[in-house]
Structure 1
Amino acid sequence: MFQEVAATVASEFSDVPDLVELTRLGVRLLVAAILGAALGYDREVKGKAAGIKTHMLVAVGSAIFMIIPLQIGVEVGDLTRVMQGMVTGVGFLGAGTILKGSSEDSVKGLTTAAGLWMTSAIGMTAGLGQELSAVLCTLLALIVFFLIPRLMRLLGRSPVDG
């Protein structure tokens, strides 16, 4: 009886990776979560629709959608279909943050939507094991979030920020 139960449990957990693979998985997901939080912080502080939690979930979700196909043996070239689906899905999520105001020129949420899209791309990059590229893209996005509005004000223009 015990051997049957043990065999059943062992077969259910046969996909548990070795320590090296588990560490690789953990690092990729942690990097995605941290980078997502960094991008979501700006949105959170500015009181936008998608903050830290949303950006973290988008980044980690995007990372795991890259990791799992690789773990089950999907060819790297076939990941492009997964990426296409992610870009479309996150575009739909971002569309929910865009609000049209009363006038034609009044649209809010575009920056938040673009930030979610970028966060997904960064999560996918981290999930593929390209952590340095993910960090560099995050730094560039943070420059856009933090420095560009200040630069616009210095130039005498009010930054349009959604």
Structure 2
Amino acid sequence: MDLQQIFYHFYQLGIAFVLALPIAFNREHSANGAGLRTFPLVAISACAFMLVGRDVYEDGEAEARVMYGIVTGIGFIGGGAILKTSKYVVGTATAAGIWLVGALGVSVAYARYEISIVLSIMGFIIFQFAEPMKKQNQSDEV
């Protein structure tokens, strides 16, 4: 591996990290669970797994298996964020956000920066501005 490739991978991991931050900051300030540590770690991990898969495997089928493993694994992590009581289910938005930053990381690994930027912006907007509407709806029903 040459120095240029090392810097390129560092660059890509940095992009995944930075694009996960808006969502992470929002979740850190509005949720008790995943936040500033979890969301960037999921994004850079998904990116790293995909970067390794792209470098190690030359055919698309093997890369697809790596991506399948990432999607499944992140779904498993997100499932751990969901808590159900007799009256409420909480953590589904956090689980979806974890999945979203995983997709963000994979899109960065494939240099599909337009997708990752849109995921970051839309995820932040949804978490930032949909929460007040949700609370209003819940208070109407209770």
Structure 1, unmatched stretches of 5+, are 1-16
Whether the 8 Å CA contact 1:66–1:124 is kept in 2: the answer is yes
Q: Distance in 2 between matches of 1:31 and 1:128?
A: 12
Q: Please give the residue correspondences for 1:10-21 in structure 2 after superposition, counting only pairs within 5 Å.
A: 17-21=1-5
| 2:52 matches 1:72 | no
CA distance in 2, matches of 1:73, 1:108: 39
Distance 1:122 1:82 in 2: 15
Could you list the runs of 5+ residues in structure 2 that have no partner in the other structure? none
Instruction: Provide TM-score, normalisation by structure 2.
Output: 0.87
Residue aligned with 2:31, SS: coil
Seen in structure 2, the aligned counterparts of structure 1 residues 150 and 47 have a Cα distance that, compared at 3 Å, is closer
Distance of 1:72 and 1:87 partners within structure 2: 19
Specify the code of the residue in structure 1 equivalent to 2:123. A
Instruction: Indicate the residue corresponding to 1:146 in structure 2.
Output: 128
Determine which structure has the larger helix proportion and give its number.
Answer: 2
Contact 2:57/2:63, CA 8 A, preserved across alignment? no
**CA deviation after TM superposition for structure 1 residue 152, in Å:** 5.4
Asked whether the equivalents of residues 108 and 116 of structure 2 are also in contact (C-alpha less than 8 Å), the reply is: yes
Q: Evaluate the alpha carbon distance shift between residue 73 and residue 83 of structure 1 in structure 2; reply closer, same or farther with a 3 A threshold.
A: closer
Could you report, residue by residue, the CA deviation over 1:123-153 in whole angstroms, capped at 9, with x for unpaired residues? 1111121122211111111111112234557
Q: Matches of 2:10 and 2:79 in 1, distance apart?
A: 30
Give aligned pairs, total.
139
RMSD: 1.9
Q: Deviation string for 1:5-29 (max 9, x for gaps)?
A: xxxxxxxxxxxx3232122101110
SS of 2:111's partner is coil
Aligned-pair CA distance for 1:158 = 4.2
SS for the counterpart of 2:58 is: coil
1:42 Cα deviation after fit: 1.3
Bigger radius of gyration among the two? 1
Greater mean alpha carbon deviation, residues 46-55 or residues 108-117: 46-55
